[in-house]
Amino acid sequence: MWHVKIVDGVLKQEPGLLEPGASSRSLAEFVSHALAAEPGWCNADAGLFEVEDVSGCGGSKTYKITATHVYSRQPRPPSVALHCRLKPIMDRSSYFPRRMAAVTRIFSASGLGPRRLAEGDGWHIDEWATGVTGNIRGHSFRDSRGRPGTVEEWAKIGELLAHVHQLPCDWFEETRQEIISAHPRMAEVPRASHIWGYFASMHDPQEVLGPLMVEGDDDQEDLLAAYLELGALVCVHPVAARVVTTHGDFHHGNILDAAGGLLCVDFESTCVSQAVQDLAYHFCGDGTKGSSNNPRKLAFLTAYLSALGEDPEVLEPLLVECELAGICFFGMARQLPPRLGGGSHGMAWAFRSRTKAEVASLIGLWRRFVTEVRSSVTLREELKAEGLGSTVERWQGRNQVDTK
């Protein structure tokens, strides 16, 4: 448990809960100074602001700061969200804050995200969207008891995602070039590759991808090339394979139900990639079971296709793509056992603890599995009904495939 404290105008991480009084006042003063150009904020008494910790489950802190006193010139907006991430600068990719600022402007300009008011190293301030109640992290659709949401809510989210995937993509080009400058091998990577999401986040790709970042030697397979080839196998659906702006962490907790409609927040993993990344990630919010008999997942994809004007006949093969995507994309392998590359951060994260030979074996297993899914109606139906984890384990048992 930790909170943010202002010391000599600098954000500091402190242990324990945020306490009323000096700590809260220091945050209010920080925001008041940062928003001096906004009407009413520069002259407001920081001691009369309400400060509430509304942080989610990630590695950052979010505070709702609200003007509770009636001023002659009321602060506008009356409530803001102060987001703080105090991970040391040396642990962040150098392009991370610039990419965050660029994508926030894109979402805000299209009415799909809150307005950015101010920003600095390790922090930014957004307008608190009108009509949002409760946690800024978006528990409107999924409360602390893990309520998955209604069919109607999932349909609304599907429509929202269709609008996100119609945003322009050119904003990411500057970041892409910075990534290539830092990691020259990325110049070979297709624009739609699943791997861009790993580089767009604040984490060091060397830490996340481990042996994939090592050049092939001693006639060993080039593992990065092998992983990229697997990505091409994963997505062949014409809708799912589109190159779009992907949110990268698209789940209930990052969706706000505001007066003007649904909004997205938390753009720490946003990049340009394949549409299936967001589609499949949202699937993970409703457990590991398959999709064919899940009304929420069906409503989500149906609404998505409808908002894009796509033929509903493409729904069934799209279900398969969303189930398979857990193999590659960041954060979607929770339903798989570790021996099959499972884990909360996707298969690539699991590579860190394996030798190059073990990684090559694991990639080979997934190649064979995906190829068989493509050619077997029975296996596709099993995948849709039971989900990725159960299906691949049974497939492995039937074929006695070794993962060592």
The strand ranges marked E within 250-379 are 255-258, 261-264, 271-274
Nearest-angstrom CA–CA distance, 316 and 383? 12
Amino acid at 171: W
118 and 222 within one domain: no
Q: Is 192 helix (H, G, I), strand (E, B) or coil?
A: coil
DSSP string, 1-51: -EEEEEETTEEEEEES---TTHHHHHHHHHHHHHTTTSTTTTTS-GGGEEE
219 and 96 within one domain: no
User: What is each CA distance from 335 to 16, 248, 327, 328, 343, in whole angstroms?
Assistant: 33, 18, 10, 13, 8
Q: What angle do CA 199, 202, 204 make, to 5 degrees?
A: 65
Instruction: Decide which of 127, 143, 165 is a domain's last residue.
Output: 127
| Inside any domain, residue 93 | yes
367 and 222 within one domain: yes
Q: How many CA atoms lie within 13 A of 286 on its CB side?
A: 26
| Inside any domain, residue 312 | yes
Q: Provide the pLDDT for residue 188.
A: 84
- Report the CATH number at residue 350: 3.90.1200
Nearest-angstrom CA–CA distance, 9 and 13? 13
Cis peptide before 77 (omega within 30 of 0): yes
Nearest-angstrom CA–CA distance, 25 and 16? 17
- Domain ranges, residue 48: 2-127
User: What is each CA distance from 39 to 43, 117, 133, 262, in whole angstroms?
Assistant: 9, 12, 23, 26
179 and 33 within one domain: no
Q: Is the pTM of this model over 0.75?
A: yes
215 and 171 within one domain: yes
300 and 182 within one domain: yes
Contact 158, 279 (CB under 8 A): no
Q: What angle do CA 311, 282, 114 make, to 5 degrees?
A: 100
189 and 108 within one domain: no
Q: Provide the pLDDT for residue 73.
A: 64
**Token pair recorded at residue 50:** 């309400």
User: What is each CA distance from 149 to 261, 336, 404, in whole angstroms?
Assistant: 17, 24, 40
Task: Give 304-312 contacts, CB < 8 A, sequence gap 24+.
Answer: 304/158, 304/159, 304/161, 304/162, 304/279, 305/162, 305/239, 306/159, 306/162, 307/158, 307/159, 307/162, 307/163, 308/162, 308/165, 308/166, 308/239, 310/239
User: According to DSSP H, which parts of 201-355 are helical?
Assistant: 205-209, 223-234, 276-283, 295-308, 315-324, 347-350
Nearest-angstrom CA–CA distance, 27 and 50? 10
Question: Token pair 């999709």 is at which residue?
Answer: 291
**Kind plus residue range of the DSSP H or E element containing 173:** helix 173-182
321 and 268 within one domain: yes
| Inside any domain, residue 140 | no
Mean pLDDT by 10 residues, the chain (404 residues): 58 60 74 80 73 74 78 74 67 74 92 88 82 45 54 92 98 92 86 82 67 58 68 78 93 82 88 92 70 86 96 90 76 62 60 71 83 92 87 86 58
| Inside any domain, residue 262 | yes
Nearest-angstrom CA–CA distance, 211 and 128? 42
| Domains in the chain, number | 2
Phi and psi at residue 373, to the nearest 5°? -60, -40
Contact 255, 263 (CB under 8 A): yes
51 and 180 within one domain: no
Q: What angle do CA 15, 16, 17 make, to 5 degrees?
A: 135
Question: Token pair 């909170």 is at which residue?
Answer: 3
